[in-house]
Chains A and B, each alone.
Chain A
Amino acid sequence: MEEVLAITDKVVDKYGGDPESLVEVLREVNDKSGYLSREHLARIAERLSQPLSKVYGVASFYSLINLEPLGQHVIRFCQDAPCHIVGGREVWEALEKELGIPFGETTLDGQWSLLTTSCIGACAVGPVMMVDDDIHGNLTPEKVRDIIADYREQDERATATAVQGGQV
């Protein structure tokens, strides 16, 4: 709870407590915390002197603001027409199959969230997805499997190092 307050207050202060900054404050607290809990929203409402209902209304409106915790890695796959006509559907199916979850879900181990996104403006290399902040383009079902395998391998290596260092 104290961490929630500290993160939230820092961002609110950065914008000078200006109610007009609500969208940017929500986004920035979201990016720092991974998602916005009820406590985050209540604190933002209090600090910006806005009703909690309004803050919730704004937070739930925008797709880059999450009201639920997401997986460690978040895949945002573009499902719009330019990516679709160059083979998007096959890639989409491969993603669901590889991760074993449908779009909109998070894996039980909390490693992966599979979301769709509207156009991210990289259409010249479609089909496109973002994994966390990185854009991957010219996707095929094979390439998607390779990319996911790479992330899994990196995560395993990171865990192994942490175990060796006695940090886990």
Chain B
Amino acid sequence: MIRSSVLISGDPISLSRGAEETKLAIEAELAFYGLEDEVQVGYTGRVSRTDVVPVVVVYPDETVYGPVSADDAAELVEEHLYKGRVVEHLRVAQEVASAEIDTLDPEGATLYGQKRVVLNRAGRIDPYSVDDYIAYDGYFALGQALAEMTPDEVLEEVKASNLQGRGGAGFPTGLKWTFVAQQPETTRYIVCNADESEPGTFKDRLIIEGDPHAVLEGMALAGYAVGASEGWIYIRGEYAMAKDILNHAIEAAERLNLLGDNILGSDFSFHIHVHAGAGAYICGEETALLNSLEGKRGSPRIRPPYPTVRGFRDKPTVVNNVETLANVPPIVLHGADWFRAIGTERSPGTKVYTMLGDVNLTGLVEAPMGTTLREIIDIYGGGIKGGKAFKAAQTGGSAGTIIPADLLDVPMDFASMREHGAGLGSGALLICDENTDIVDLAYVLIRFFRTESCGKCTPCRVGNVQMLESLERLRKGMARRSDLERLEEIATYVESASFCGLGQAAPVPILTGLRYFRDEFESRVRD
């Protein structure tokens, strides 16, 4: 009889700070008190803050301790699990915790309105346990779809939800699926893009590490809707733990016939494979990803034909981001109307952000679409570090827009941001305080694109080198007016003439930086 459950944060950062030793010590103490059959111990994927890891959560009361070292295990087990008394001095302090407990008690009122759809289970379940997932409504959507819905009905539900791709482009997911479902070719594939490489973005890793089955279930539902029986998860080469968790989850789901042949006794079969990358930012671009998946260099393909027509192995292919797919099971389970009630009319649902840079609390936050950047910074980020003033934010990763304080109150959804010339992108929010040197920031960003350009097309391959040269001179105060003019001119060319999304996005930080912070570039020019 299990009466209590203890979860230890098992993300790489927690592990690097001794989470495994903590877990072993807790297990040893439980054995000492003869509690090993009553208390279940496991890892959980994710906590949104990193300053208190490793975190230990004791259920059912959801007491949060952190950081807990192996030396604390004896006291914690004796007091809390043996005697039933909370160990106050090991708890995460209450006022600090309110920004972080969110992950553990999504229905509670302590959350400053944080809304969890995608991360509903992350931090509450053991990602290695399919039973945990099922206990929190896991695979109910798939079961319901297979028993009561036709593939078309699933597709229509997703279409009606107006779910938009969370990888950055915001393309309507239902529409993409329809394109694939309409193809005359009947061998079709589902590909999950987990090649999360956008600097500042790690939401997909934490979704997988916290709730892997949500992604698998989303893929199976996509397969059912468009008539595909095979799916691939392309995960970036650096995410060793996430890959391991996925492989484990697939095996567990197959054992229960939740994946594999004739799922739950139906006619629908769906197999998922995991394919690891080998280190290349460009492979996040969907056609480069498909080439890499086929064992080739990750060079982008010309579009059209789009992957929906000729994708993996030249067959119609749905390529969806991890977060997008994790949204699908709750949409199918609760319906499109439920989903549309969250977020804004034009962009329903939530968005998972990674909050970074000069804020007091960095980490992951899920908020309804339409939450403003000011709210994210003040409420979830605990304000700017050291009481300094906000200067700029880069939204959407390194390929994202640099925006000034004037745009702090724009509701963040795909459409509103676009209207203000800004982008939501991958959901990375890099917050910069008053001391940030925008020219230097632009230099670092372009250095990234120079390194990651695949070299296929000239505008991107050569343009990024030239932009970097101009920025280097500006940064050092050695630039002439012609350098600044050249920078702007080349940036415009690279944006308009590059072959794929990487090159087209690379100059965005320069162009938006110049739009909002031109003075700063001008002041570096030596006349």
* Chain A residues with a Cβ under 8 A of chain B: 18-24, 26-27, 57-58, 61-65, 79-82, 84-86, 116-126, 133-137
> Could you mark each residue 242-279 of chain B with 1 if its beta carbon is under 8 Å from any beta carbon of chain A, else 0?
00000000000000000000000000000000011111
Shortest CB-to-CB span from B54 to chain A, Å, is 13
Contact A121-B50, Cβ < 8 Å, known A23-B277, A62-B278: no
Shortest CB-to-CB span from B288 to chain A, Å, is 10
* Nearest-CB residue, chain B, relative to A116: B451
With a CB–CB cut-off of 8 A, which chain A residues contact B354? 123-124
A122–B355 CA distance with the chains assembled, in angstroms: 11
Shortest CB-to-CB span from B478 to chain A, Å, is 18
Complex contact A80–B237 (CB within 8 A): no
A126–B239 CA distance with the chains assembled, in angstroms: 17
Q: Is B281 an interface residue (CB 8 A)?
A: yes
A81–B439 CA distance with the chains assembled, in angstroms: 12
Complex contact B444–A80 (CB within 8 A): yes
Q: Which of A22, A65, A79, A81 is close to B296, meaning CB atoms less than 8 Å apart?
A: A22
Complex contact A81–B448 (CB within 8 A): yes
Q: Is B295 an interface residue (CB 8 A)?
A: yes
Q: Which of A27, A119, A123, A136 is close to B16, meaning CB atoms less than 8 Å apart?
A: A136
* Nearest-CB residue, chain B, relative to A55: B295
Count, A-B residue pairs, CB within 8 A? 134
With a CB–CB cut-off of 8 A, which chain B residues contact A27? 237, 276, 278
Q: Is B12 an interface residue (CB 8 A)?
A: yes
Q: Is B103 an interface residue (CB 8 A)?
A: no
Complex contact A85–B277 (CB within 8 A): no
Complex contact B452–A64 (CB within 8 A): no
Complex contact B436–A81 (CB within 8 A): no
A136–B50 CA distance with the chains assembled, in angstroms: 13
* Most chain A Cβ neighbours within 10 Å, of B50, B196, B199, B277: B199
Complex contact A82–B200 (CB within 8 A): yes
Shortest CB-to-CB span from B526 to chain A, Å, is 23
With a CB–CB cut-off of 8 A, which chain B residues contact A86? 357-358
A62–B421 CA distance with the chains assembled, in angstroms: 34
With a CB–CB cut-off of 8 A, which chain B residues contact A135? 12-13, 16
With a CB–CB cut-off of 8 A, which chain A residues contact B294? 20
Q: Is B205 an interface residue (CB 8 A)?
A: yes
A90–B199 CA distance with the chains assembled, in angstroms: 19
Shortest CB-to-CB span from A76 to chain B, Å, is 9
With a CB–CB cut-off of 8 A, which chain A residues contact B199? 80-82, 118-119, 123
Q: Is B280 an interface residue (CB 8 A)?
A: yes
Q: Is B430 an interface residue (CB 8 A)?
A: yes
Contact A121-B279, Cβ < 8 Å, known A20-B295, A84-B444: no
With a CB–CB cut-off of 8 A, which chain A residues contact B441? 81, 84-85
A85–B388 CA distance with the chains assembled, in angstroms: 15
* Nearest-CB residue, chain B, relative to A50: B295
With a CB–CB cut-off of 8 A, which chain A residues contact B50? 124-125, 137
* Nearest-CB residue, chain A, relative to B400: A81
With a CB–CB cut-off of 8 A, which chain B residues contact A137? 13, 16, 50
Complex contact A81–B394 (CB within 8 A): yes
Contact A121-B432, Cβ < 8 Å, known A23-B295, A65-B278: no
* Most chain B Cβ neighbours within 10 Å, of A26, A27, A57, A62: A62
Complex contact A122–B448 (CB within 8 A): no
Which B447-464 residues have a C-beta within 8 angstroms of A?
447-448, 451-452, 454
Contact A64-B278, Cβ < 8 Å, known A81-B441, A123-B354: yes
Complex contact B238–A81 (CB within 8 A): no
Q: Is B398 an interface residue (CB 8 A)?
A: yes
A21–B278 CA distance with the chains assembled, in angstroms: 12
Which B338-385 residues have a C-beta within 8 angstroms of A?
354-358, 362-364
* Nearest-CB residue, chain B, relative to A119: B199
Q: Which of B196, B278, B297, B355 is close to A121, meaning CB atoms less than 8 Å apart?
A: B196
Shortest CB-to-CB span from B217 to chain A, Å, is 23
Complex contact B394–A119 (CB within 8 A): no
Contact A57-B297, Cβ < 8 Å, known A85-B441, A123-B199, A124-B362: yes
A125–B12 CA distance with the chains assembled, in angstroms: 11
A85–B444 CA distance with the chains assembled, in angstroms: 9
